[in-house]
Structure 1
Amino acid sequence: MKEMFTLLLILGLATSLGAWPAFDEFNVFDYGASGVGRTDDSKAFKYAWRNACNAETHSAKVIVPEEGTFLLKPLMFHGPCKPQFIHFIISGTIVASGSPKTWDGLDSSQWIAFKNVTGLNMYGSGLLEGHGIHWWNQSCRYHPDREDCTKLAPTVLKFISCNGGTLSNIYIVNSPQTHVLISDSKGFNVDNVMIQSPQDSPNTDGIHIHSSHIIKITNSIIGSGDDCISIGDYSSNIDISNIECGPGHGISIGSLGKDGRIVLVENVHIRDSTFKGTTNGARIKTWQVGRGNIRHVIFENLVFDSVDNPIIIDQNYCDVRGACKEKKSGVKISDVTYKNIYGTSSSSVAITLNCSRSVPCSGISMENINLASVTPGKFLLANCINVQGTEVGVNPGSCLN
């Protein structure tokens, strides 16, 4: 009786103060999700998110259970939210519709997006399946003659203005376009994710960073039809390490400066990573007509296995490759370090630094680089144009001396 009286007293006080004990777990099954993978579960996710975002608690959890497969239409989860932290725990499988018609009248650039959410932590042992093949089959890149070809296709996960967030322990496959976008965010960490799409899938970057700062990407395996990781405009303090990249186009800064835009990317550190069968390794790519700066970049402790262009700067990018007329404009590339880089090149030119005559690359440092051909005994070249810098222990060389 005494225990019952104490419980009733506590509940009575909570009721009188308008503060019942916080409910902090929101399972999508409790909101009507079927979990069979064939009926639309979008409303259940929407309502679970709404209640989690509005919960009067320090930390809320949206639960996507292991025993379910959940079909979702395009969804935007909005903040700001009341809890300091929201954990979006994906243990089951989330699948997209295989038909591009699902996006008719909607934003075709996104599937699952989070906006203005601080303290978001997405993790779990689950799978996100983008079913991108139908988008790839009508891509303008591969099917330019189709009247209904598509230039823009959904990104599986978008994090827009999400500060202090994390993405970890998630498996993402077959995105129609970019797999993960981090945009206008600060203090966002990605760790131990696996991203896979076919080598010939168009524009399927693994992770793209845009206009974001203090971003860490670590301990992840990424294979796609485009860059494993790409860094876009107005991004700074980017730390990328322990990445297994391949297939794909490597880890790239750019392309930047299209349509004469002003560029600022700085303090980027890419290290302790491997590249297997990629078209590029450590790449910086800028449009001729761009302006601004890329500076304070380090590529360090990298291993290349059968990479077409292990080290490449292309400051003369334009619409028609190989037919770019020289411009007086250009993005200034400075203070770039390449250090402790080893492996094999599948092309004859292992190092290409193609810089602008009007805005040459400066402060380029190369140290302890040893690249060999995948073909035993084949001689490799290094080609540097309009570059100011130093090199020590570089093979093939010399390039900067």
Structure 2
Amino acid sequence: MRKSLGKRDKLSEVQLRVEDAKQRDIGRGIARIDQRTMEKLGISAGDVIEIIGKRSTSAIAWPAFNEDQNRDIIRIDGFTRKNAGVTINEYVMVRPTKVKEALNITLAPVDMRLTVDEDFTNFVKNRLMERTLVEGDTTLITMLSHAIPFLVTGTRPHGIVKVTAETKLTILNETAPETRGLSRVTYEDVGGLRMVIQRVREIVELPLRHPELFQRLGIEPPKGILFYGPPGCGKTLLARAIANEAEVNFFAINGPEVIGKFYGDSEARLREIFQQAQLNAPSIIFIDHFDAIAVPRRISDTDLMENRIVAQLLALMDGLKSRGNVIVIAATDRIDLIDPAFKRPGRFDEIIEIRFPEKEERYEILKIHTRTMPLAENVNLNELAEMTNSFTGADLMALCKKAAMKSLRRLPKECLIEERIPLHILEKINVTMEDFLDALKELKLGDKN
């Protein structure tokens, strides 16, 4: 039997590699670490730890899964990674910490405006009770099927604090200026594409983080990735998650919106976006509905505008400096409508198909879209995954939203005429399997019509 580490053998901190959280742990503020690491640090499950990357944050230590034992990793969700200033496969220092009781905490909503009253403040406070926070953290509050992110703009005292019954909580109405336009999409929000994510991360993150490797090898890093597949399968969501997790600037282009009325407008728009991306590198340029501006060139007076746009886009991609600090990601539902010149190496080096999700992938997507929902005990996501063959990720999201809306039918009618529904009523609402089945019938009927 292995001997436990004695007091003299305990370490003040350890270095662990970051991996993504499982769906069940997202938004819980926990960090899964293995038993051997806990023994080294002299901590137990439930203790608070400090996680230090580019910045410092906190989490509650929780036992690792069996398959993660002795791997020297820490599983944390996208919010905790953001709070620590790290992404997957980077390293953090982890150490035990002391937590102070918070006297005052100020929160600001992320990228939205709220109407705040005493009931809402008390509701948020109850959700935060015993949770640990650090100034600058983003924390998630679940309310019915909606998760509201807040930025911790101030704490007293400073450092790692926990919310208690005595804590005075202030919630600002206005968005914190530094969070406006902030993308909240993480890899955990993209379901059913684990293998694609792994492949794309290798293509995108390595040259963005370590361009010197490519200089040493004497090769050019990839300039572009082209996603193709049915609409609603997660191409756009994946691109946003990549940019957010890699902590780079994100420039989005909607193909049809680029096309201007006047001569040269479209080319000027494209030049401006590429110029801004290079000035603000590292960055990702994402072109949605790529087939709208990358059609095969033809010899015809009526196709002159399309030919000019394609020629300009090819020139811009060829003109990107080969340092891997600007990457173009494009998405299309119709790869057959793309000019073949874009598919040659040096432009879109990687062409990746994103297919309809299989049953296990549909189950994972359903878990993502229901993780903030108050589900009744009779909800069986495995059964729903079986019943939704040929559904895309967008279809499954619509199913979950429609089921949630159906649960509102059980609200007392008198509540609907009140200015604000009491929180104790909202807390009693849950989404049942019957809601999902009714929603599924409607969606399938809509397809037939």
TM range (shorter): under 0.3
- Normalised by the length of structure 1, the TM-score is 0.23
Structure 2 length as normaliser, TM-score?
0.21
State the structure with bigger RCO (CA 8 A, min sep 6), 1 or 2. Answer: 2
